[in-house]
Amino acid sequence: MEQHLSRRLYEAANGRTWFDERQGPINVTVKFDDAGQLLVDLGPGLGELSNTAEMEDLESWLINAADLEVADRFTHRGIVFRFDGKDMYFYHPEERPPPPRRSASLNGVPRIVLSPGHGYYRLYGKKDNYSWVFQRSEQHGVQEDVITMEYAELLQEEMRQRIWGAVPVLARFDASYTHAETKQPWRHISARYYLAWQYPKNPEIWHSLPDDKTQGRERLEDIRSRPFFANHVDAAAAVHLHTNAEPSGTVRGTRVYYHRGSPESKKLADRLLCGMKEIVRSLPRYEDFPMDEEARNDGNYGENRLAAMPSALVELAFHSNKGDAAALLDDDFKKAVVSGLTKGFKLYREGAECEPFMVELGEGYGYTNHIGTVTLSFKGYPRTPVDFHFEEFDCGPLATECINQYGSRYSVSSPMYYPLRCPNRPGPHKYRLTMTDADGVISNAAEGEINCKFVDW
């Protein structure tokens, strides 16, 4: 297995150029450690480059390539990259994550930093004439640099409406007017330049690598500017939005990454994933949409690593896959994703678990032809208003037809009473209850009965 993986990852690593003129062949050795982690060693030559944006791309490429190989054979406990046996901090001790701190922003209202991945950036150096480019290429109609901004705006709007006492802020500028230097709309421009404009006196946010003279310097500064911005505004959490890619075009689905060793980030990442899963899959078209069970800690993403608060990187779907790309462009999918992320964030903030929406019917009493009462209880976190659908079944021999009843509630709690009408037939009546919340999440169908006494006032 290790040899097989080493070979496959070698092919993936050497199938394209990552580090321009500096790259020779990349060695890849794969080993499992005692903890069940997959150690991927890229040899001694690349240690110096371990903190570059190109290395993040290469690592992400290898994570996806490994996944394609091992998906249904076993579960490893995360992929860790090494360089001649050493981790990145051996070569770049300054890259260690900052100590976590509690958010306490100046005006008392914590910010949630929403960071749309990538965007237009400038190639550094005369060789490239300081020209500007997108960071990703378009595939199946999806330009990652642009679509992440769209999702971030939708998410910001959703969070504004549904999350109280915290302000969602974007790391890029959501304006359509022109960025003078590039003639691109501002919304296409990566975070680094927006933050340079917003925080001219804080170059440590957006110009953190003044000594780097390589072509990719501003791209890496862009990646770093996002957690540095979140740290600067003392954000309560950071959520980075991306779409994923890998060469085969077959890998699909949603993944969420957090930085190894940050339990709070894992909690945030797990809740975000769970919220998305529940709501995206409630759409019939996406009921089988592939989504992880748990957030992943593979690799070493600067956006998460350098954040001093809980931070999660969301790979919404694979733009390299045709079906996933179509989903990314679908308005219903977009809406479900941002509802799911918002719900996940709320669960995280409330310290709640992520539970499936399950209902149980208790006892019910009433008088024929009058409103009676049933008790019910549920698990999960339905968003209100919630619709109730009672379907009568096994109607007695006197019944001409079963009577269904509908209702809606702006406030629900568990357990709760619900007014259910007794039909004009004495005796027990069997009902099947399903509840549907405002996100379209549908509960199980719970069975129970209401006992109706005959009354003749």
Query: Could you identify the residue written with the tokens 């890619």?
Result: 245
Which of residues 136 and 260 has its CB atom nearest to Zn ion in the complex?
136
CA distance 128 to 150: 29
Spatial neighbors of 373 by CB under 8 A, at least 6 apart, are 364, 365, 366, 417, 418, 419, 420
Least Cβ distance, residue 42 to Zn ion (angstroms): 20
Least Cβ distance, residue 270 to Zn ion (angstroms): 21
Residues in the chain: 457
User: In this structure, how many other beta carbons lie within 10 angstroms of the beta carbon of residue 264?
Assistant: 14
Residue 154's H or E segment, with its range, is helix 144-162
Least Cβ distance, residue 243 to Zn ion (angstroms): 6
Least Cβ distance, residue 256 to Zn ion (angstroms): 13
Per-residue burial over 84-104, b = 16 or more CB atoms within 10 Å of its CB, e = otherwise: eeebbeebeeebebeeeeebe
Which of residues 12 and 30 has its CB atom nearest to Zn ion in the complex?
12
Which CA distances in Å does 199 have to 1, 193, 205, 229, 394? 50, 10, 8, 9, 69
Least Cβ distance, residue 321 to Zn ion (angstroms): 15
Under a CB-based contact definition with an 8 Å cutoff, are residues 341 and 314 in contact?
yes
Which of residues 170 and 422 has its CB atom nearest to Zn ion in the complex?
170
Residue 406's H or E segment, with its range, is strand 405-409
Which of residues 65 and 435 has its CB atom nearest to Zn ion in the complex?
65
Spatial neighbors of 220 by CB under 8 A, at least 6 apart, are 51, 52, 53, 209, 212, 302
Interface residues toward Zn ion, by CB under 5 A: 117, 242
CA-nearest of 369, 370, 343 to 274 is 343
Determine the residue type at 70: V
Least Cβ distance, residue 77 to Zn ion (angstroms): 24
Least Cβ distance, residue 117 to Zn ion (angstroms): 4
